Amino acid sequence: MSGKKIHFVSLGCPKNRVDSEVMLGVARRAGYDHVPAPEDAEVIVVNTCGFIGEAKKESIDAIFEMAKLKDEGHLQKLVVAGCLSQRHPAEIADEMPEVDHILGSSDMLKLEQVLTGKADRMLVGNPADWVVRASDPRTISTPGGSAYVKIAEGCNRTCSFCVIPQLRGGQRSRPVEDVVAEVEQLVAAGVREVNLVSQDTIAYGRDLPADTRPALAELVRRVADVPGLHWARLFYLYPETITDELVELIAHHPRVVPYVDMPLQHAADGMLRRMRRGHGGERLRKLVTRLRKDIPDLTFRTAFIVGHPGETDEEFKDLVDFVTWAEFDRVGVFRYSDEENSRSAEMEGKVPARVASSRYRKLMSLQRRIAHKKNATLIGRELEVLVEGTSDEHEFVQMGRHRGQAPDIDGQVYLSGGEARPGEIRRVRVTQASDYDLVGELIDEGEADHAPTLTVDLPKKRISLRVLQTDGRTMAT
């Protein structure tokens, strides 16, 4: 390493990860090398999450933890960016004098001003001013030839518990051509899997002019048809009408994986009304039934909130019954927290924290049993696995993911019986299963000369980007 040294802590969701990767790209362009150990860095960037109480606490703790390195390490500049600083810039400025520069949720490119020494302390702008473009610098942090691609920014929904529109602005969809151009760049660099994300993916394109408005299915098809791409996956589909064309793509396109991530938030009619979700429990049952029927071998991931104001024992029972019936493959569970300026924060009927925690534990315990049962059915099956590299926990064990496992937020497949290179797609026979992870034996000879050559931007081991987790699995938003 010859340049100055920078370290990143990225908290929250995959959308935040993309923003962190843009800042990594900005830093590289400015002559900085990323270092995995924060004590070795001259500049540290904490990209914060401000979605829920736990995330805010984690962000604040990370800021104070990194600030100690001004006395104990080489740290010269501490930069705070993201949703928390967008939401509370004055408080951070007043209460955290250790922070040298404050960027908001759309100020990723301003990091270059910070690194060249030409920046004010307060750099928080309008959250609706920016959406990532194919021309922006970016350094991929996910290993093994996988990348997240953000197709839109912001949100136009009015869910009562959520303040994302205040933190990120209204919906801003990227043009199809720009998204495809980015995917082409990534594939040329060795990426084999792209994961399409936004705050409200099902609403993609609705903010664009009517005469040129693209459909989500059109975008997905264009992305999946990029030569050299192996898997394309969709995240954050709002539970409303999904077009037959999109369902057909997920079900039958050879490179669109049969994976649906759809945060449902609850299942009781009264709770869904209070949450302003625009639908009821029966509609959700019909939607789940349709997707299970029309998409063979579907992996269904969702998320729920427990302890929202007004949630009764009977409504929580409705949720438990729904999860029992649906047998989702993956579930993230949030304990509700009041968010300033949200409608839910003003509601009566607050649920005691101990009750919310009890409901959280019960729902997670139920889902853990479901997940284990589903994983057990894979024992003996042969699966395609995208090799990521060496396990974070076991340096002599390699790991990867099958198409039903998304990066960071789902489980792993631990590999035995041979050697594999990051970025390879290998045939694996599953031999063991746990609640979230699998063990499998390599049964093919590998891709030899046909495996991708990963560029410097595609790390064989994960760049250190910390993520907020609950119960050992990253929470979906």
What are the pLDDT digits (tens) for 47-87? 998 777 778 888 999 999 999 999 887 899 999 999 999 99
380: exposed, middle or buried (Cβ count in 10 Å: 0-12, 13-18, 19+)? exposed
**Range(s) of the chain covered by CATH 2.40.50.140:** 382-447
> The CATH number of 4-129 is which of 3.40.50.12160, 2.40.37.10, 3.60.150.10, 3.40.190.10?
3.40.50.12160
Tokens of residue 301, six digits? 């991931």
- Which residues does residue 197 pair with via DSSP β-bridges, in sequence order? 150
pLDDT the model gives residue 450: 43
Is 19:56 a contact under the CB 8 Å cutoff? no
Q: What is the CATH number that goes with domain 382-447?
A: 2.40.50.140
**pLDDT, tens only, 351-404:** 999 999 999 999 999 999 999 999 999 999 999 999 998 887 776 788 999 999
User: How far is 409 from 128, CA to CA, in rounded Å?
Assistant: 27
Non-local CB neighbours of 154 within 8 Å, separated by 6+ positions: 127, 128, 131, 164, 165, 168, 169, 170, 171, 172, 199
d(CA 477, CA 52): 10
Task: Give pTM, 2 decimals.
Answer: 0.90
Q: Distances in Å between the alpha carbon of 186 and those of 13, 156, 179, 206, 431?
A: 20, 29, 11, 26, 33
83 carries a ligand binding annotation: yes
pLDDT band at 143 (very low <50, low <70, confident <90, very high): confident
Percentage of residues in the chain with pLDDT exceeding 90?
Answer: 76
165 annotated as ligand-binding: no
Do 45 and 35 meet the contact criterion of CB atoms below 8 Å apart?
Answer: no
Task: Give the model's pLDDT for residue 462.
Answer: 43
Instruction: Give the angle subtended at the CA of 325 by the CAs of 320 and 326, to the nearest 5°.
Output: 100
Is 339 labelled a binding residue? no
Instruction: Report residue 316: phi and psi, to 5°.
Output: -65, -40
Q: Which residue did the predictor score with more confidence, 14 or 467?
A: 14
Amino acid at residue number 173:
S
Residue 447 pLDDT class (50, 70, 90 cuts): low
Domain with CATH 3.40.50.12160 in the chain: 4-129
Whole-number Å distance between alpha carbons of 56 and 396? 36
CATH 3.80.30.20 residue window(s) in the chain: 146-376
Q: Which of the pair, 75 or 212, is modelled with greater confidence?
A: 75
Determine the average pLDDT of the residues in 124-138.
93
- Report the C-alpha dihedral over residues 307, 310, 313, 317, rounded to 10 degrees: -70
Over the stretch 297-312, which tens digit does the pLDDT of each residue have? 999 999 999 999 999 9
Span 146-155, pLDDT tens digits: 999 999 999 9
Q: Is the pLDDT of residue 254 over 50?
A: yes
Q: Which CATH number is associated with domain 146-376?
A: 3.80.30.20
The two tokens of residue 118 are: 């030409």
Q: Summarize pLDDT for 179-208 with one digit per residue, the tens.
A: 999 999 999 999 999 999 999 999 999 998
Tell me whether residue 49 is annotated as binding: yes
Task: Identify the helix (H) or strand (E) that includes residue 288.
Answer: helix 281-294
Residue 101 assigned as binding residue: no
- The DSSP code sequence of 364-399 is HHHHHHHHHHHHHTTTT-EEEEEEEEE-SS-TT-EE
Mean pLDDT value across the chain: 90
Q: Tell me: is residue 162 an annotated ligand-binding position.
A: yes
Question: What pLDDT shows up at residue 474?
Answer: 33
pLDDT for 2: 56
Looking at per-residue pLDDT, the higher value among 44 and 394 belongs to 44
Cβ neighbours of 226 (radius 10 Å): 19
